[in-house]
Amino acid sequence: MAVETLLQVKEITKSFGGVQAILRVNLELERGDILGIIGPNGSGKTTMVNLITGFVKPDSGEVLFKGKTITGKPPHKIADLGVTRTFQVMRPYYSLPAFKNLIVPLNSPRIRRTAGGKLGDKDGVAIDILEEIGFERDAYVPYKIASSLPLGYLKRLELARCLALKPEVIICDEIFSGLSMSEISTMIPVIERLQMDGITIIMIEHRLRELFRLVNRIIVLNFGQKLAEGKPEEVMAKPEVKEAYLGTGAGYVGS
Amino acid sequence: MPNEQLTSRERRRERLDRGIKVRTEGLYALSSWKEMFYLLAPRIVLILGLLVAPFLLDMYWQRVLCAAGIYALLALSFDFLAAYVGLVCLGGSFFIGSGAYISGLLNAKMGWAPFLTIPIATVVGAIVSTLVLLPCLRLRGIYFAITSFMFPLLTVNVIIALNIFGGTEGISALATYPNPWVDQYLILSVVIVSLFTLRRLVNEDMGLILRSIKDNDQAVKASGISILSYKIKAVFIASLIGCFGGAYLSHLYGWVGISQFSLDFSILPIAATVMGGMGTLVGPVIGALILTPLSEALRGFGQLRVVLYCLILIGFIVYKPEGLMNYLQRKYHQFEHWEDV
């Protein structure tokens, strides 16, 4: 079966002043893949997202989307191609009701193109997307002002904003962080459904147990370099990964 | 008397707040005439007040009203950019100056009548202002404010140094309006129309996108929208309003000069916005309609007027930081009465 390589990162390198944030990292993603990127704090995970989505320009290396280079393009052009992201520090439009947050992506050139100029009932579309992602319409959650929503909904709103763009790739930057176990357990089926819809997903995560339920391949970053890649169990069994994650000398706490 | 004090302590003030629904959803008003009047009354008072004002004033204060209208337009464009796009633009006098000089030159050199020069100067002035501010649009917050502040100062020096457009003398003997009624109703109608157009705009999709850019531009970029193109549109709209003020001003006085780039046009709108209430759009207009006559009444103090502006600004920032309009709006929707406990 020929599988299309959707996203490819080649030897990408970025340093901020004297700090080597990312050094010669390679990455390859096929359509429909779900990939996890993990690593200790400061290992360059978020920089990786910023490099792929154009928010940070790489020093060297290349990002290819459907075989064409997207390195150096501005973020909105990359999003326009269908590569979108959530933010680790949530960035909803606080002063607007939740469903009005989606008016922005629904007005984007990408959606305009696919809709052939006619956008129809944008509010209705926005509320449908929110309902799909777990905003209870009966409880009027989509109509609430974003600043009044609890964290779990804001994280979902982040995801909904990406979905409204009808993306091909979604990069989730720590979408589980700060959520309670019950909030995470309602979030997991949402992401599973996205994958079934054929959306390619990269998940950057600290919550490994939850992540491993979703992904079949992970990449471990440490000090900006790729430490390991492969199936979650195999990768986590490697001594160098354990060392990076848990430090030397300490026993494995937990299960 | 101690007895009375005691009884007054036993009463408390009860405050009823009309639901958020009433404030936000116009649909509610359709339920009864009373509700409809309740929502329309403030708007009618403002519009009628502006339209009746020329009949109540003498010649001198009619002139002041025209100037207040120009400041109201500038305050409106300042508030629109600052509160809805997040661009604090101190280049108000650049809008006035470019609008005034373009219509002045067209009138003096080409001999075109005001009804032609004003629309042309409004559009061309807005294009020029937008192009000038274009390189600064990547900047945010205080950095945009500083660079936009620089342009009027720079233009004045260019005009003086190169002795173009009449140099320090300016261009005089321009066509004026046929009578004082045209003077006043022209500016007043434009103030009313731009006020209600902008209020409509900020609640349309385009307004929502602009507000989102203010709230957080990174997420707008991640939604596949070029924030630069929307900022350009917003600056163009704001400078249209400002440049009309300039073009109108040149024919009001029949003269254009470097004083039309003066700091007054950049500073007073800010004072008016702070006083009227940031983000209300109507607040800055009311602020300008209060501050301009006030500063005129204090003309005797000369340069000390600036001190007065500052005192008013400080007073509002300390005692009513939300501004006049936000305060009045809140009070209008609240009913207070004393109740015995």
Token reading at B247: 């073009």
Do B223 and A87 count as a contact with CB atoms less than 8 A apart?
no
Residue B260, helix vs strand vs coil: helix
CA distance linking residue A212 with residue A176, whole number of Å: 13
Reported for B216-219, long-range contacts at CB under 8 A and 24+ positions apart, including other chains, are B216/A91, B216/A92, B216/A93, B217/B86, B217/B140, B218/A55, B218/A75, B218/A87, B218/A91, B219/A87, B219/A91, B219/A92, B219/A93, B219/A104, B219/A161
Sign of the alpha-carbon torsion through A21, A24, A25, A31: positive
Closest CA to B184 of B58, B268, B100: B58
pLDDT at B230: 94
CA distance linking residue B118 with residue B120, whole number of Å: 5
Which alpha helices (DSSP H) does B163-226 contain, by range? 180-201, 205-215, 217-222
CA distance linking residue A149 with residue A244, whole number of Å: 36
ipTM of the complex: 0.84
Q: Which of B212, B215, B223 sits opposite A79 (nearest CB)?
A: B223
pLDDT at A133: 84
pLDDT at B340: 67
Do A87 and B205 count as a contact with CB atoms less than 8 A apart?
no
Higher per-residue pLDDT: B140 or A119: B140
For the entire predicted model, the pTM comes to: 0.86
Q: Which amino acid is at B149?
A: F
Residue-averaged pLDDT of chain A: 84
B111 exposure class (CB count in 10 Å sphere: 0-12, 13-18, 19+): exposed
Task: Tell whether B208 is within 8 A of chain A (Cβ).
Answer: yes
pLDDT at B31: 65
User: Which chain A positions have a beta carbon within 8 Å of B225's beta carbon?
Assistant: 76, 104-105, 107-109
Do A84 and B223 count as a contact with CB atoms less than 8 A apart?
yes
User: Which chain A positions have a beta carbon within 8 Å of B209's beta carbon?
Assistant: 103-104, 107
DSSP chain A: ----EEEEEEEEEEEETTEEEEEEEEEEEETT-EEEEE-STTSSHHHHHHHHHTSS--SEEEEEETTEE-TT--HHHHHHHTEEE--SS----TTSBGGGGGHHHHTSHHHHHHHTT----HHHHHHHHHHHTT--TTTTGGGSBGGGS-HHHHHHHHHHHHHTT--SEEEEESSSTT--HHHHHHHHHHHHHHHHTT-EEEEE-S-HHHHHHH-SEEEEEETTEEEEEE-HHHHHHSHHHHHHHH-SS------
Residue A142 has pLDDT above 50, yes or no: yes
Do A103 and B208 count as a contact with CB atoms less than 8 A apart?
yes
Task: Tell whether A172 is within 8 A of chain B (Cβ).
Answer: no
Task: Tell whether A164 is within 8 A of chain B (Cβ).
Answer: yes
User: Which chain B positions have a beta carbon within 8 Å of A75's beta carbon?
Assistant: 218, 221-222
Structural domains present in chain A: 5-246 (3.40.50.300)
Blockwise average pLDDT, block size 10, chain B, 341 residues: 50 64 50 76 90 91 94 95 91 92 92 92 95 89 88 90 84 86 93 95 90 86 91 95 94 89 87 90 93 85 78 86 86 71 66
CA distance linking residue A24 with residue A10, whole number of Å: 7
Structural domains present in chain B: 60-332 (1.10.3470)
Do B211 and A95 count as a contact with CB atoms less than 8 A apart?
yes
Do B215 and A122 count as a contact with CB atoms less than 8 A apart?
no
How sure is the predictor about A22, in pLDDT bands with cuts at 50, 70 and 90?
confident
Residue A212 has pLDDT above 50, yes or no: yes
Task: Tell whether B218 is within 8 A of chain A (Cβ).
Answer: yes
Sign of the alpha-carbon torsion through B275, B281, B282, B286: positive
Angle subtended by helix axes B180-201 and B227-253, to nearest 10: 170
CA distance linking residue B99 with residue A241, whole number of Å: 66
Nearest CA in chain A to B228: A76
Do B222 and A75 count as a contact with CB atoms less than 8 A apart?
yes
In the DSSP assignment, the letter for residue B179 is S
pLDDT at B19: 53
Higher per-residue pLDDT: B123 or A120: B123
Task: Tell whether A75 is within 8 A of chain B (Cβ).
Answer: yes
**pLDDT, tens digit, for every residue of A28-74?**
888 888 999 988 888 888 899 999 999 999 999 999 998 889 988 99
Task: Tell whether A74 is within 8 A of chain B (Cβ).
Answer: yes
Task: Tell whether B212 is within 8 A of chain A (Cβ).
Answer: yes
In the DSSP assignment, the letter for residue B323 is -
CA distance linking residue A189 with residue A167, whole number of Å: 18
User: Which chain B positions have a beta carbon within 8 Å of A92's beta carbon?
Assistant: 216, 219
How sure is the predictor about A255, in pLDDT bands with cuts at 50, 70 and 90?
very low
**pLDDT, tens digit, for every residue of A74-114?**
999 999 999 999 887 777 777 778 888 888 888 888 888 87
HSE, side-chain direction, 13 A CA sphere, residue A203? 28
pLDDT at B52: 92
Do A105 and B223 count as a contact with CB atoms less than 8 A apart?
yes
Do A104 and B225 count as a contact with CB atoms less than 8 A apart?
yes
Do A107 and B221 count as a contact with CB atoms less than 8 A apart?
no
CB B72 within 8 A of CB B293: no
Task: Tell whether B175 is within 8 A of chain A (Cβ).
Answer: no
Do B215 and A104 count as a contact with CB atoms less than 8 A apart?
no
